[in-house]
Amino acid sequence: MSIEVKDLSFRYGKIVALDGVTMRLGEGAVGLLGPNGAGKSTLLRILLGFLVPERGEGRVLDYDIRREQAMIRRSVGYMPESDCFVAGMDAVTFTSYFGELSGMPRQEAMKRAHEVLFYVGLGESRYRLLDTYSAGMKQRLKLAQALVHDPKILFLDEPTSNLDPTGRAEVLELIRDISAHKSIQVLLSSHILDDIEELCETVVILNKGKLAAEGRMADLRAINYSLYELRLKGDGEAFRKDLESAGCRVDEMEDGLVKVYMPGAADPMDIFRAAGRTGAQLRYFIKSRTSLEDLFAGVVGVD
């Protein structure tokens, strides 16, 4: 296991940020999901060794998060969410600078900076001042500085934020290549569910500081619940209450589509029985493949 935490808890004053989170993450790309205030950033801070957990323990690449923070930071590449650069530098100097700070010899860092800048598509503009870079270029530059010391794990915080569709596709393509072919594990924190669905095989969902769901996307879809989409004619309110009393979650979309999240053990025939009891007519019924958005809504309880 490359990341393993057990009973991890942290609070900012009276506010509980993480509450007894236990998880084990293996190889490949892992998506870190959760609404604002769920504890994603706090978890990343603790994994990078910036915060000392109030309770619990954890290891990143077998390094203790309390005692071996320098080793963790040497092995991890971090791409922050916000724009960040050093004023007055060009891309090569910037990238090699952070390679050196990671512990690379100066000449090696410079050589490696050229390589990763070509890899992320900034080869032609590597001698341009960073102050003149566009948002998309800065995003790729952040990825380059995270890769320069050849980390074993990449922590990516909202890697596609502020990007246009083309830029987003390019960055996602790079991340896919890194996680799939370069044996670098990726921990991707994002609020863009499509990004995580596109890149990650495993997902961790945090809600209110607690672990809401964790596992392979396919398993989570299968185990937790079944999703049915239907259209109704008749007393929709009575139908909804009937199903909710049976432990289902019912969401009505703006276009009139009704989504029913049924617990794993429930019988889909209950939907028809509920319709019969409440006098509602079912005009459309389909078992839907759960998207990550549905999974997120089902687990966290938000649309």
Partner 1 sequence: MATVREKGYTHWDGKLGERRFPWWPITRTGILLAFRKKRFKFIFAGAFIPSIVFLVGLYISERLEDFKAIIQGSDRLLNIDPKYFATYLTGDWLFFLIVLVLAYGAGGLIADDLKHNSLQLYFSRPLGKKDYLIGKMSVIAFFVLILTALPGLLLVVFKLVFAGSFKFFLQYPWLPLSVLGFSALLTVFFAFYVLLLSALSKNSRYVFVLTFGTYIFSTVLYGILNGIFRTPYMALFSIPANLRQAGAFIFGQKLPFAFPAVWSFAVLAGICVLAAAVLNRKIRSVEVIK
Strands, sheet with 153-157, edge to edge from the N-terminal-most edge strand: 76-79, 153-157, 185-189, 29-33, 202-207, 210-216
Residues between 45 and 64 with contacts to partner 1, criterion CB under 8 A:
45, 48, 50-51
Near partner 1 by CB under 8 A: residue from 57, 118, 134, 219: 118
CB of 272 to partner 1, least distance (A): 43
147 is a contact residue toward partner 1 (CB under 8 A): yes
Running DSSP on this structure, what letter comes out for residue 227?
A: E
Of 105-113, 224-232, 253-261, 263-271, the segment contacting partner 1 by CB under 8 A is 105-113
119 is a contact residue toward partner 1 (CB under 8 A): yes
253 is a contact residue toward partner 1 (CB under 8 A): no
Contacts of 116 (CB under 8 A, 6+ apart): 95, 144, 147, 148
Between 91 and 299, whose beta carbon lies closer to partner 1? 91
Half-sphere exposure for 25 (CA within 13 Å, toward CB) = 28
Of 24-32, 75-83, 206-214, 255-263, the segment contacting partner 1 by CB under 8 A is 75-83
115 is a contact residue toward partner 1 (CB under 8 A): yes
Tokens read off for 125: 């503009």
192 is a contact residue toward partner 1 (CB under 8 A): no
CB of 29 to partner 1, least distance (A): 15
Cα gap 155→245, rounded to integer Å: 42
Of 97-105, 220-228, 241-249, 287-295, the segment contacting partner 1 by CB under 8 A is 97-105
CA distances from 158 to 15, 31, 139, 270 (A): 24, 11, 10, 41
145 is a contact residue toward partner 1 (CB under 8 A): yes
Tokens read off for 95: 């990238």
Near partner 1 by CB under 8 A: residue from 19, 100, 195, 242: 100
- Reduced to 3 states, what is the DSSP secondary structure of residue 182? coil
